[in-house]
Amino acid sequence: MQVDRIVPVDARGRIDEALIEGSAGEVFAALQKIPPGELPRLGVLFRYFQWAMPFLADKPLYAQMLDSGFAVMGVIPLREVVLGRIAQGLSLLSSFPRVKNRAELIAHDEKGFLKVVLSFNLAKEEMNDKSYTRVGATLKIWPSGHGSGFLFALLWPLASFAGGVFARDWMRALARRVANK
């Protein structure tokens, strides 16, 4: 997998998976289209605060991630896309030095920053004459530079929990969107 070529083996991470009826193409197309307001659970929050950020509630999450500084770090067509960026603390919203490719992400070593990688991988499965796609969302975070490991170790449980809640909701929305196609 492309993500393994970018992320160090000791990076902390979590993987959330879902099995969705549909082809890889249908799933990939849907993945890029889901706006926050479509998330079955977290979407309520986004819809509630829509008055404050009407544009963001309708703009697909994938596009918002790219807008917020994630760059595409690696691809295998219709199988995997790896997004990555530099962040500080747990905030993904503030503006940080944008790394534009995997070489820059790997090379970044300024203390106090985190490297965040989110990879979506898709694998075909067939059951009972039906075609499914297994979607895996891999979140990997590791500190940039030396000496930030202790602080990051404290933050990781919270990051992992939040990432899992978000990823699972995104998967639910994905399954729903593909089913409604």
Partner 1 sequence: MTDTLFESLSSTLGSEYTHIDEDTRQYYSMDLSLEKRETAAVVVQPSTLDEVVAVVRKASEVGAPIVPRGGGMSYTHTFVPGSAGCVSMDMRRMNKIHDISIEDLMVVADPGVTWEEIYLAVSEQGGRTPYWGPLSGRFATVGGTLSNNSSFFGSGRYGLASEAVLGLEVVLSEGEVLHTGAWSHSRSGPFMRYHGPDLTGIFLGDAGTMGIKTKAALQLVPLPESTMALSFSVPNFEIMNDCILEIGRTELAAEVYGFDPLYNGLFAELGFSFLEGIPWTVFVTVDAPTDDLAEASVAYLREIGLRYGNEIDPSVPLAVRADPFGSTPQVITGPKGELWIPLHGLFPRSKAKEVCETTLKYFDDQAAQMAVHGIRTSLLTAANGKDLLFEPSFYWSDSLEGFRLEKLEPERAEKLKEVPENLEAREIALGMRRELTTLLDEIGAIHLQVGKWYEYGRWLEPESLKFLKSLKDHIDPKNLFNPGSLGIN
Query: Which residues form the interface with partner 1 (CB under 8 A)?
Result: 5, 23-25, 28-29, 32-33, 60, 62-67, 71-81, 98, 100-101, 103, 124, 180-181
Cβ nearer to partner 1, comparing 72 with 158: 72
Angle among Cα 8, 85, 62 to the nearest 5 degrees reads 115
Coil, helix or strand for 157? helix
Q: Is 123 exposed, middle or buried (0-12, 13-18, 19+ CB in 10 A)?
A: middle
Tokens of 95: 């503006």
Q: How far apart are CA 13 and CA 180, in angstroms?
A: 31
State the minimum distance, in angstroms, from the CB of residue 11 to partner 1: 18
State the minimum distance, in angstroms, from the CB of residue 180 to partner 1: 7
Cβ nearer to partner 1, comparing 122 with 167: 122
State the minimum distance, in angstroms, from the CB of residue 68 to partner 1: 9
Cβ nearer to partner 1, comparing 28 with 156: 28
